[in-house]
């Protein structure tokens, strides 16, 4: 089978996967069949706010608690790290049974502390997040002629100095009739319901429904606390309740209780189960994504032209014309191209702090590999937003496994710099296993103390800290040592030329070389800054990011631009007889993080204007610092490895006297 045939098969398979994306689901993401009258249980997630970026537990406020007590739902590692705390709630529905004016509970009279914290949460624009059948509650508001979608609903509102709480919820559950044939087609199987786990009976005569939408309308209604004093949960409220979202009535006062009620109605919808997330994932600004990609392609073409000129000017001319000329002409040609040829005896001289460079390159390979694999899986639908926390969990898993790549690359590069000497490979492996994770652990620990002090659910519990440490030292470190062992056994990369004992003096430069290196980061930043805006909005503005296909394309383009930028700058430095290219090639592409961090500060000032308090600002800057360090390791590694390949290829291909 030829190379073209194999490529065609892979293209066909990829297209089939993408084409069947609407009906492709992983185990655990199957449709649940509910019969009429079956119980539907609503869950609650942490209270969130774009004003503070600190989540808090739902039951930290005087909300109604379920009769059976508060219980945590099954959570994965990613959910805990994201600050999600999913718990059961007292809201209960019966499939296809409309109910109105149901009494939920009457809280105890608000203490001074509860009254104060409730007002603070309303001022900080906290949202209540509810979940039904894995679907977050969605709220629609109309602004001018546009319909806006929000997940969750606001805790309350402040009007003319008075605080009002939304204590009556009007739920609408969209359902779709369960049809065996439709489900079989959606699942991509001809075996029907036999292979689809369902809830309840599966008999063909029993009508069933699937939940395809969950909407909520919050209202503030002035309940009579005395009337509700003797009511039990789920009883009918004695008087009628008018739910008007545009009016408020339930004033929050110290020493007075709050009465909570709700309505629920079921509406049959044409939305099919595979499409039920479309309301949350409706693509907006796709033209902007394409503009970002086209902009990146223009940068790549420009740099590729420069790279092509470099290769045509050096390799081709030196391999052809150089050998055809007589000695006098060769001497004249050597004069013209004396810059990079004069550093032949120093170009492979070991850089300063060689072990640190090898460790950073190894960690960069690990981070870059984790990013590529995670985004690829997400683009193929294996880590959809429907499965909360899977993206973070997948990133941690792939990072741990790719420790073997970090150890291999760092040790093999160390042996290359040491001209084949494998002594010290254990130390290099240990440092590679602990360098970036140690920095990350320090930053996250400091930020965690801030969250602990604020009693936020975003704080990582101590037990989870222990779990992360065990994952680090029991999986990542051993795998990095294994990779280091293979790197020590692998043959080192032979230099094509010898290195002189006495280093050549670098001539005075017209301009500081580091200035050009720092300025080179503007080109990679131009490749990703548009996509960076969408990612920042997802992290800090509570929006759902799901266009991982665009992100994968941008990541590939970023790798290409980083390689080209570093290669061009390395050649420019060699032409002016500057043979200290090792670190400069790393930071030529790694300097993109300077502009990313400046963009983060700009985003904080102009887009997160409502971010309140020094703790929130420190959290934002701390997480931004963690992000730019990871990006620096990844992009710097791409630049260094591409430059190393270029320099090795250049001096091994060109005839030198």
The pLDDT confidence band at residue 324, using thresholds 50, 70 and 90, is low
627: closest CA among 584, 578, 593?
Answer: 593
Q: Return the ∠ at Cα 403 (arms to 397 and 407), rounded to 5°.
A: 175
Element (H, E) at 102: strand 99-106
Q: Is the dihedral of CA 353, 355, 356, 358 positive or negative?
A: positive
Are 432 and 484 within 8 A, CB to CB?
yes
CA distance 570 to 593: 19
What are the pLDDT digits (tens) for 249-306? Answer: 889 999 999 999 999 999 999 988 888 887 777 645 556 667 667 777 777 787 777 7
> What distances in angstroms separate CA 181 from CA 270, 458, 628, one per listed residue?
16, 43, 49
Give the pLDDT confidence score for residue 25 in this predicted structure: 40
Give the pLDDT confidence score for residue 104 in this predicted structure: 93
Three-state secondary structure call for residue 92: strand
Are 518 and 594 within 8 A, CB to CB?
yes
87-94 and 39-44: which strand pairing?
Answer: antiparallel
Give the pLDDT confidence score for residue 5 in this predicted structure: 41
Mean of pLDDT values over 476-492: 94
DSSP one-letter code for 474: I
Give the pLDDT confidence score for residue 17 in this predicted structure: 36
| Range in 103-117, 138-152, 302-316 with the lowest mean pLDDT | 302-316
Per-position b or e across 29-66, b if 16+ CB within 10 A of its CB: ebbbbbbeebebebbbbbbbbbbbbbbbbbebbbbbbb
Are 212 and 172 within 8 A, CB to CB?
no
The burial of 579, by beta-carbon neighbours within 10 Å (0-12 exposed, 13-18 middle, 19 or more buried), is given as: buried
Q: In this structure, what token pair is assigned to residue 621?
A: 């800057």
Give the pLDDT confidence score for residue 328 in this predicted structure: 53
The pLDDT confidence band at residue 167, using thresholds 50, 70 and 90, is very high
Backbone phi, psi, residue 621, to 5°: -65, -35
Mean of pLDDT values over 201-205: 49
CA distance 144 to 38: 40
243: closest CA among 215, 219, 259?
Answer: 219
259-268 and 168-177: which strand pairing?
Answer: parallel
Q: In this structure, what token pair is assigned to residue 36?
A: 């009429």
Rounded to two decimals, what is the model's pTM?
A: 0.83
CA distance 525 to 565: 12
Give the pLDDT confidence score for residue 610 in this predicted structure: 66
> What distances in angstroms separate CA 137 from CA 37, 140, 245, one per listed residue?
21, 10, 16
Mean of pLDDT values over 233-256: 88
Element (H, E) at 636: helix 614-653
CA distance 423 to 362: 18
Is the pLDDT reported for residue 472 higher than 90?
A: yes
CA distance 121 to 18: 43
What sections of 380-420 are H helices per DSSP?
390-401, 403-417
Mean pLDDT of the chain: 83
Three-state secondary structure call for residue 247: coil
Mean of pLDDT values over 498-514: 81
CA distance 533 to 85: 27
Are 477 and 435 within 8 A, CB to CB?
no
Is the pLDDT reported for residue 437 higher than 70?
A: yes
Binning the chain into helix, strand and coil, the percentages to the nearest 5 are: 50, 15, 35
> What distances in angstroms separate CA 478 from CA 407, 430, 467, 469, 498, one per listed residue?
10, 9, 16, 13, 36
Are 361 and 641 within 8 A, CB to CB?
yes
């Amino acid at each position: 089978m030829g190379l073209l045939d194999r490529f065609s098969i892979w293209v066909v398979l990829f297209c089939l996967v993408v084409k069947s994306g609407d009906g492709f689901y992983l185990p655990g993401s199957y449709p649940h069949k509910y019969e009429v009258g079956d119980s539907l249980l609503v869950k609650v997630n942490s209270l969130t706010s774009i004003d503070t970026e600190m989540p808090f537990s739902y039951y930290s406020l005087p909300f109604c608690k379920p009769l059976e007590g508060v219980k945590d739902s099954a959570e994965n590692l990613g959910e805990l790290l994201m600050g999600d705390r999913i718990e059961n709630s007292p809201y209960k529905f019966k499939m296809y049974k409309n109910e109105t004016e149901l009494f939920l509970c009457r809280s105890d009279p608000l203490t001074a502390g509860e009254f104060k914290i409730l007002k603070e949460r309303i001022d900080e624009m906290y949202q209540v997040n509810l979940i039904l059948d894995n679907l977050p509650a969605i709220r629609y508001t109309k602004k001018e002629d546009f319909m806006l979608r929000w997940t969750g609903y606001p805790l309350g509102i402040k009007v003319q100095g008075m605080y009002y709480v939304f204590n009556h919820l009007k739920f609408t559950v969209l359902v779709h009739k369960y049809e065996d044939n439709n489900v079989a087609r959606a699942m991509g199987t001809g075996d029907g319901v036999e292979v689809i786990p369902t809830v309840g009976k599966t008999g063909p005569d029993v009508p069933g429904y699937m939940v395809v939408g969950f909407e909520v309308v919050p209202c503030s209604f002035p309940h009579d606390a005395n009337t509700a004093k003797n009511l039990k949960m789920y009883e009918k409220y004695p008087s009628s309740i008018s739910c008007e979202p545009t009016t408020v009535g339930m004033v929050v006062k110290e020493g007075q209780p709050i009465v909570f009620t709700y309505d629920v109605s079921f509406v049959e919808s044409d939305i099919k189960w595979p499409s039920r997330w479309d309301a949350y994932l409706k693509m907006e600004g796709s033209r902007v994504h394409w503009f970002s990609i086209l902009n990146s392609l223009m940068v790549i073409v420009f740099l590729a032209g420069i790279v092509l000129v470099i290769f045509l000017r050096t390799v081709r001319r030196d391999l052809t014309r150089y050998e055809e000329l007589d000695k006098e002409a060769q001497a004249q040609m050597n004069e013209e191209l004396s810059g990079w040829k004069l550093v032949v005896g120093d170009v492979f001289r070991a850089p300063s702090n060689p072990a640190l460079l090898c460790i950073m390159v190894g960690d960069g390979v690990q981070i870059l590999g984790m990013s590529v694999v995670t985004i690829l899986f997400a683009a193929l639908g294996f880590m959809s937003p429907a499965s909360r926390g899977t993206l973070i969990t997948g990133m941690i898993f792939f990072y741990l496994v790719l420790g073997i790549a970090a150890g291999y690359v760092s040790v093999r590069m160390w042996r290359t710099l040491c001209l084949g000497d494998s002594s010290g490979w254990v130390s290099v492996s240990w440092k590679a296993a602990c360098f970036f994770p140690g920095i990350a652990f320090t930053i996250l620990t400091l930020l965690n103390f801030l969250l602990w002090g604020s009693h936020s659910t975003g704080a990582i519990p101590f037990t989870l800290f222990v779990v992360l440490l065990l994952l680090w030292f029991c999986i990542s470190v051993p795998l990095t040592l294994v990779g280091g062992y293979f790197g020590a056994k692998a043959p080192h990369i032979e230099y094509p030329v010898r290195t002189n004992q006495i280093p050549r003096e670098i001539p005075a430069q017209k301009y500081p070389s580091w200035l050009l290196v720092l300025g080179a980061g503007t080109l990679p930043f131009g490749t990703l800054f548009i996509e960076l805006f969408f990612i920042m909005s997802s992290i800090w503005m509570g929006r759902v990011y799901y266009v991982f296909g665009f992100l994968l394309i941008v990541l590939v383009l970023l790798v290409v631009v980083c390689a080209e930028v570093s290669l061009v700058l390395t050649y420019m430095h060699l032409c002016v007889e500057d043979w200290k290219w090792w670190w400069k090639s790393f930071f030529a592409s790694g300097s993109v993080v300077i502009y990313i961090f400046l963009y983060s500060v700009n985003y904080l000032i102009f887009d997160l204007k409502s971010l309140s308090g020094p703790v929130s600002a420190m959290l934002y800057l701390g997480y931004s610092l963690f992000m730019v360090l990871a990006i620096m390791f990844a992009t710097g590694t791409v630049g260094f490895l591409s430059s190393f390949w270029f320099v090795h290829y250049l001096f091994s291909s060109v005839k030198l006297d």
